[in-house]
Every structure is written in C-alpha cells, then in structure tokens.
C-alpha cells in the first residue's frame, strides 16, 4: 500500500446472520475525512463496524495499512449511572488528552460522569475517541445527543487539518457531512 493510504475497501458486503449492507468500495488516505451518507436503514453503521471487525464480512475485502491503529466511537452508550469514574479518568483510559477541550467541559473534568449532563457526557466520550492515539478514526453518528455548543465545537475541530490521520464519519446529519468531509460516499437503502 502507498505510504499515505490507510484503508482500501473493495466490494464490502457486511451483516450479522445474513448480509444487510453493501456493496461498498472506497480508499482512504491520511488527511482525508470521508462521509458515509444515506437514509436510515441503509446499513451505514454496519459497514462502519465492518471496518474494524465488529460485524461479519460476507463479500469483498478491507485492506488496512500495516500496524493501523483504529479508534472507534460507537453510537449510543451504556447507562453509566453509579460508576465513580471522573471525566479525566475516562480520557486516560483511551490515552486521550484533555488539551483542547472546550472550557465548558474542561472545568468539569474532575466530576464523576454521572454528574455531567447527557450532552457533556456524549462529547467527552467522543473526545476520548477523537484524541486517542490512532491513525484512523471511525465516528458513528457523532452529533447524536450533543447540544448545539458541542456540535459547533466538533465541526470546528474536524475542520482543522489532521494530516496524519484519516477519519470516516457516518451521519444522517447532512450539515455535518457537507461542512467537514473532504469526500462523500452515498449508500443506498
């Protein structure tokens, strides 16, 4: 694979007990932000999971650059109420850095997660994936449960150059896709 090439996806068909999504083909280089767009039920999240091995691949191939490090942000999250973990401890788990966090979250980093609002918690989980050491970042509906300030900060962060990394975003939010993605692949229902 070429030095800048992170991922080559060829005719990917993925699913669980049976195929539910695909075929999908694309290549991703460092510095690119690829959007996977499409209507609900098109299988965008399933195809994203296939990139890191979270679902069964029925056809096609996912070729990764040797030693590729993937950071994956899943849609939704478990109920975290009652677990005494702070935001700072959460970031440390993935090796993410608190540097660059928006001030409205940075000042709450030493609070327990169950003392944060839903939007703050979602942004923190997103940040733990965004700034974890990785070559490829996979984001599944990253704006879900974010408040307006969180969405604005995310768009601004993604808009800055990340030359060393590739990013794949699945979203039904066309505003986000149009604003931050360098390329878009449409997936049909």
Partner 1 sequence: MSFDLLFDPLFRVPFFTGLLLAGLLPLIGMYLRLRNEWLAALAFAQMASAGALLAMVLDWPMVAGGVLAALLAAVLKGLAARAGANAYALMMLLAWAGGVLLVANHPLAEQAGHALFDGQLYFTGEGHLAAAATTCVVVLPLLAWLSRPLLLGRFFPAFYQARGRSERPRLMLFDLLAGLAVALATVSLGVMAAFALVFVPPLIAYRFGSSWRAGLGWSALIGMAGYAFAFAVSLGFDQPFGPICVLLMVMLFVVSSVKYDRM
CA distances to 5, 35, 86, 173, 187 from 176, rounded to whole Å, are 24, 9, 29, 6, 16
Question: 160 exposed, middle or buried (CB, 10 Å; 0-12, 13-18, 19+)?
Answer: exposed
Are 55 and 138 within 8 A, CB to CB?
Answer: no
Three-class DSSP labels, 55-106: CEEEEEEEEECCCCCEEEECCCCCCCCCCCCEHHHHHHHHCCCCCCCCHHHH
Does 110 engage in binding with partner 1 (CB under 8 A)?
yes
| Shortest distance, position 161 Cβ to partner 1, whole Å | 24
**94 near partner 1 (CB under 8 A):** yes
- Mark 20-59 with x for binding to partner 1 (rule: CB under 8 A) and - for no binding: --------------------------------xxx-----
By the rule CB under 8 A, 1 interacts with partner 1? no
Segment contacting partner 1 (CB under 8 A): 13-21, 35-43, 122-130, 146-154? 122-130
- Contact between 112 and partner 1 per CB under 8 A: yes
Instruction: Kindly state the smallest distance separating residue 162's Cβ from partner 1, in Å.
Output: 18
Residue pair 21/188 in contact by the 8 Å Cβ criterion: no
Nearer Cβ to partner 1 (88/152)? 88
Stretch that binds partner 1, among 33-41, 81-89, 152-160, 170-178 (CB under 8 A): 81-89
CB of 134 to partner 1, least distance (A): 8
Q: Pattern 137-156, binding to partner 1, x per CB under 8 A?
A: -x------------------
Residues that bind partner 1 (CB under 8 A): 52-54, 69-72, 74, 78, 80, 82-86, 89-90, 93-94, 110, 112, 125, 128-129, 138
């Amino acid at each position: 694979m070429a030095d800048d090439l992170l991922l080559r996806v060829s005719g990917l068909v993925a699913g669980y007990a049976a195929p539910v999504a695909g075929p999908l083909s694309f290549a991703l280089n460092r510095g690119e932000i690829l959007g996977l767009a499409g209507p609900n039920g098109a299988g965008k999240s399933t195809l994203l999971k296939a990139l890191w091995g979270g679902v069964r691949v029925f056809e096609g191939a996912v070729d990764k650059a040797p030693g590729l490090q993937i950071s994956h942000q899943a849609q939704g999250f478990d109920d975290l109420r009652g677990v005494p973990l702070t935001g700072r401890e959460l970031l440390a788990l993935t090796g993410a850095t608190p540097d660059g966090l928006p001030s409205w979250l940075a000042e709450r980093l030493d609070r327990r997660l169950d003392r944060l609002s839903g939007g703050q918690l979602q942004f923190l989980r997103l940040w733990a994936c965004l700034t974890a050491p990785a070559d490829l970042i996979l984001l599944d509906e990253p704006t879900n449960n974010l408040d307006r300030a969180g969405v604005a900060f995310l768009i601004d962060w993604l808009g800055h150059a990340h030359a060393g990394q590739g990013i794949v975003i699945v979203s039904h939010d066309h505003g986000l896709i149009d604003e931050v993605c360098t390329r878009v692949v449409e997936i049909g229902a």
